[in-house]
Structure 1
Amino acid sequence: MSLKDILPGRLGFGTAPLGNMFRAIPDDEARATVEAAWDHGIRFYDTAPFYGAGLAEERLGEVLAGKPRDEYVLSTKVGRVVLDEHETDVPDFGEKGGLFEHGNPNRILHEWTADATERSIEGSLKRLGTDRLDIVWVHDIAQDFHGDAWLQKFEEARTGAFRVLSRLRDEGVIKAWGLGVNKTEPIELTLALDEPQPDGFLLAGRYTLLDHEHALTRLLPMAQEQGVDMVVGGPYSSGILAGGTHFEYQQAPAEIVERVGKLKALAEKHAVSIKAAALQFSLAHPASAAVIPGATRPSRIAEDTAALNETVPATFWTDLRAAGLVSPAAPLPNNA
Structure 2
Amino acid sequence: MTLKNILPGRLGFGAAPLGNMFRAIPDDEARATVEAAWDQGIRYYDTAPVYGAGLSETRLGEALADKPRDEYVLSTKVGRVVLDEVEEGEPDFGEKGGIFEHGNPNKILHEWTADATERSIEDSLKRLGTDRLDIVWVHDIAQDFHGDLWVQKFEEARTGAFRVLSRLRDEGVIRAWGLGVNKTEPIELTLALDEPQPDGFLLAGRYTLLDHEHAFQRLLPMAQEQDVDMVVGGPYNSGVLVGGAHFEYQQAPPEVIEHVKKLNTLVEKHGISMKAAALQFSLAHPVTAAAVVGASRPSRIAEDAAALEERIPDAFWSDLRLSLIHISEPTRPERMSYAVFCLKK
How high is the TM-score relative to the length of structure 1? 0.97
Deviation, structure 1 residue 83: 1.3
Counterpart in the other structure of 2:150 = 150
Deviation, structure 1 residue 155: 0.8
Residue 191 of structure 2 corresponds to residue 191 of structure 1: yes
Number of residue pairs the alignment of both structures matches = 335
Separation of aligned partners in 2, 1:113 and 1:17: 27
Between 277-286 and 99-108, report the one with greater CA deviation.
Answer: 99-108
Residue 331 of structure 2 corresponds to residue 332 of structure 1: no
Deviation, structure 1 residue 153: 1.4
Percent of residue pairs identical: 79
8 Å CA contact 2:321, 2:341 repeated in 1: no
| Amino acid in the other structure paired with 1:333 | C
Separation of aligned partners in 1, 2:96 and 2:228: 28
8 Å CA contact 2:13, 2:45 repeated in 1: yes
| Amino acid in the other structure paired with 2:319 | D
Separation of aligned partners in 1, 2:233 and 2:252: 18
Gap runs ≥5 in structure 2: 330-335
1:37-82 per-residue CA deviation (whole Å, 9 max, x = no partner) reads 0000000000000100000000000011100000000000001111
Counterpart in the other structure of 1:65 = 65
Counterpart in the other structure of 1:117 = 117
Counterpart in the other structure of 1:300 = 300
Counterpart in the other structure of 2:170 = 170
User: Structure 1 141/239 Cα, relative in aligned 2: closer, same or farther at 3 Å?
Assistant: same
1:146-190 per-residue CA deviation (whole Å, 9 max, x = no partner) reads 344322211111000000000000000100000000100000000
Counterpart in the other structure of 1:132 = 132
User: Structure 1 97/147 Cα, relative in aligned 2: closer, same or farther at 3 Å?
Assistant: farther
Separation of aligned partners in 1, 2:11 and 2:280: 10
| Amino acid in the other structure paired with 2:341 | L
| Amino acid in the other structure paired with 1:161 | A
8 Å CA contact 1:168, 1:174 repeated in 2: yes
The 3-state SS of whatever aligns with 2:299 is helix
Counterpart in the other structure of 1:107 = 107
The 3-state SS of whatever aligns with 1:21 is coil
Residue 269 of structure 2 corresponds to residue 269 of structure 1: yes
Separation of aligned partners in 2, 1:132 and 1:163: 18
Matches within 5 A, 1:252-291: 252-291=252-291
Between 307-316 and 147-156, report the one with greater CA deviation.
Answer: 147-156
1:126-165 per-residue CA deviation (whole Å, 9 max, x = no partner) reads 000000000000001133x234432221111100000000
Gap runs ≥5 in structure 1: none
Separation of aligned partners in 1, 2:186 and 2:141: 7
Separation of aligned partners in 2, 1:92 and 1:103: 12
Counterpart in the other structure of 1:322 = 322
Separation of aligned partners in 1, 2:81 and 2:115: 10
Counterpart in the other structure of 1:229 = 229
| Amino acid in the other structure paired with 1:173 | V
Deviation, structure 1 residue 328: 4.8
8 Å CA contact 1:320, 1:326 repeated in 2: no
The 3-state SS of whatever aligns with 2:53 is coil
Deviation, structure 1 residue 109: 1.2
| Amino acid in the other structure paired with 1:103 | G
| Amino acid in the other structure paired with 1:221 | P
Counterpart in the other structure of 1:31 = 31
Deviation, structure 1 residue 88: 1.1
Separation of aligned partners in 1, 2:253 and 2:196: 40
How high is the TM-score relative to the length of structure 2? 0.95
Deviation, structure 1 residue 106: 1.1
Separation of aligned partners in 1, 2:236 and 2:166: 31
- Give the RMSD, CA atoms, in angstroms: 1.2
Counterpart in the other structure of 1:251 = 251
| Amino acid in the other structure paired with 1:135 | I
Separation of aligned partners in 2, 1:92 and 1:7: 32
The 3-state SS of whatever aligns with 1:166 is helix
User: Structure 1 52/240 Cα, relative in aligned 2: closer, same or farther at 3 Å?
Assistant: same
Separation of aligned partners in 2, 1:15 and 1:146: 25
Counterpart in the other structure of 1:241 = 241
8 Å CA contact 2:136, 2:174 repeated in 1: yes
